[in-house]
Structure 1
């Protein structure tokens, strides 16, 4: 007497169905963080930029919001969104490995970006360009340990993001390449010390574009990650 084995939609037997289901569920849960992190970051930054006294969306970059009364909101935004981004990066690496896609390690570059955001929250940028009120009208008059740490973490995180935009395999690779180039140019411009409206607004555009790329990529991998893993 023989017993039939459970099969998947294609008729192939399912091996370790419970384990496979759990693995896929965890992967999808991690990828889901990539859909939420971007909107949370952008909405938080925009609301703060509109209500914080003395902050000008066309002159001040988001990092400066971590200074002054209420700065804890941006610090929390950096840390929470960074942790969510890192979780999404782990999910991307797991999904790419499951799908046997090229360069599954590229998901860890997104983890690096998330760690950079957390570090940017732990180390506060030095006041400059008149924010918060009373700060120097131009560049920071002195570089503190916090300011240096912020630059290092932000720089490394942004570098990981740019490389990830080129390395993560997606159905529309051109979108990642465009995002990577735009973000690199915008970051280089802001890192030069320029606070011209076109530079600051360009960074806003680059940041929104990067979050959109992350969300679309995570959504694509979420849909492609199988709930069941058939044998064979």
Structure 2
């Protein structure tokens, strides 16, 4: 005589899985504002720094450069962790595969941007000659490559999320996602073209896109 094994869905297991997802999403929620607040606090307080002339990455130089280096690495690690939460929260939905992947790539890019520091330039830190250095170091090239990967991944993630929310019928978040991606696309493009105050437009674009990822993670966490 055989005994039928009846599968039982455990409410406790489901609750535990939801708790893990919420914890992972919390990392994404914290990562983006953390990076922005620490960066802007330094931009406002470090002598010789001018956000209309210097990218926020320049703060990794000087005696206090370790603060921005740590900021990059910590925010990047939290973003990678948070991407796992987005993957769990968006599983099965349109964009549920690629949006988390792109966010994860942006996190790895941030870590690399922290590890590889750009060269001092354009009068910062104090004592640095004006203008760009005649030749860039290998780690400066690596920093700019890491930054490019981060920006491209963030832009793409925002547009994928725009499609996700459009398919879900959430017009407000669909528009917000596309606006955030476009802000970074235009800000980076203006900075790359050498436009006036390009470092400021880049900072605005980066912070806008990063903050949007944080808001999406918050929305996902709230819906669990």
Query: What TM-score, normalized by structure 2, do the two folds share?
Result: 0.87
Match of 2:127, SS?
Answer: coil
Partners of 1:46 and 1:118 in 2: CA distance: 18
> SS of the counterpart of 2:119?
coil
Is the Cα–Cα contact under 8 Å of residues 154 and 210 in structure 2 kept in the other structure? no
1:8 matched to which residue of 2? none
Mapped partners of 1:156, 1:85: distance in 2: 14
Matched with 2:4 is: none
Deviation per CA, 1:68-114: give whole Å up to 9, x if none.
Answer: 111000000000011111111111011111xx311221211100111
Deviations 1:136-159 (A, max 9, x none): 311232111110110111111111
**Contact 1:59/1:195 (CA < 8 Å) preserved in 2?**
no
**Which of 150, 154, 157 is 2:150 aligned to?**
157
Following superposition, which runs of at least 4 residues in structure 1 exceed 3 angstroms of deviation? none
Residue 135 (str. 1) matches residue 134 (str. 2): no
Q: Secondary structure at the match of 1:55?
A: coil
From 135, 138, 147, the counterpart of 1:145: 138
Report the equivalent of 2:201. Answer: 202
Does the CA contact (< 8 Å) of 1:60 and 1:195 recur in 2? no
- Which residue of structure 1 aligns with residue 219 of structure 2? 220
Structure with the bigger percentage of helix: 2
SS in structure 2 at match of 1:136: coil
Specify whether residues 140 and 190 from structure 1 end up closer, same or farther in structure 2 by C-alpha distance, changes over 3 A only.
farther
What are structure 2's unaligned runs of at least 5 residues?
Answer: 1-6
Segments of structure 1 that go 5 or more residues without pairing to the other structure are 1-12, 226-232
Higher relative contact order (CA 8 A, sep 6+): 1
Is 1:119 the counterpart of 2:134? The answer is no
Distance 2:59 2:148 in 1: 18
RMSD (Å), alpha carbons: 1.7
Matches within 5 A, 1:1-232: 15-97=9-91, 100-105=92-97, 106-168=99-161, 169-170=164-165, 171=170, 172-192=173-193, 194=194, 196-197=196-197, 199-225=198-224
State TM-score, norm by structure 1. 0.84
Q: How many residues align?
A: 209
CA distance in structure 2 between the aligned counterparts of 1:63 and 1:33, rounded to whole angstroms: 22
Partner deviation per Cα, 1:157-179 (whole Å, 9 max, x = no partner): 11111100011223321111111
